[in-house]
Amino acid sequence: MNHLGAALAIAVLAGALLALVLARLLRAWRGSWRARRRAARAGAGEDAAAAMLRRAGFRIVAQQARTWWAPRIDGEPHRTELRADYLVEAGGELLVAEVKTGDAAPSLATAATRRQLLEYHVAFEADAVLLVCPERGAIHRIEFPLAARDRDPEDETAADAGP
């Protein structure tokens, strides 16, 4: 009976180990499937966005445009490579066009999108940025006022609120 108990314990441990390995493989497969699906959606969105931009009168200057930008940390430059979906021109202006798909990303209410567009505006020294939403068929021109005088006086901000 002692050998039978040991064999049973080994079988239970082997079964548990096999279940853990299978669960990990399933999780990895599911994650890579989602990533592939997301990448396919983004790629199709970028293709549709290029056609939308051309139809709207923009000339595509570069796709997957790169620049190096060096914000300073305590006076020391911190080189960072940035890559925007498109650089486009129209009416003598240079604009960065960023393509966003999905429900949340194509909105300035999404902090990550807003910050990314602001970063592109500054780093690429663009006249403005375009938020392109191919799933909605929309191209939005985004401008970031850099000076306090450009703020809407009707807007109340934390900086305006006194003690």
Whether residue 118 has pLDDT greater than 90: yes
The whole-number average pLDDT for the span 7-33 is 80
Name the average pLDDT for the chain: 83
The whole-number average pLDDT for the span 131-154 is 80
- How many C-beta atoms lie closer than 10 Å to residue 80's C-beta? 12
The whole-number average pLDDT for the span 38-61 is 82
> Which range has the worst mean pLDDT, 65-69, 78-82, 103-107, 151-155?
151-155
Q: 96: which 2 tokens?
A: 């960065």
Whether residue 3 has pLDDT greater than 90: no
Q: In this structure, what DSSP letter does residue 59 have?
A: E
> Which range has the worst mean pLDDT, 17-21, 94-98, 111-115, 140-144?
17-21
The whole-number average pLDDT for the span 127-140 is 92
Per residue in 145-155, pLDDT tens?
877 665 566 65
CA distance 42 to 50: 12
CA distance 102 to 148: 33
| Radius of gyration of the chain measured on its C-alpha atoms | 25
The whole-number average pLDDT for the span 60-80 is 94
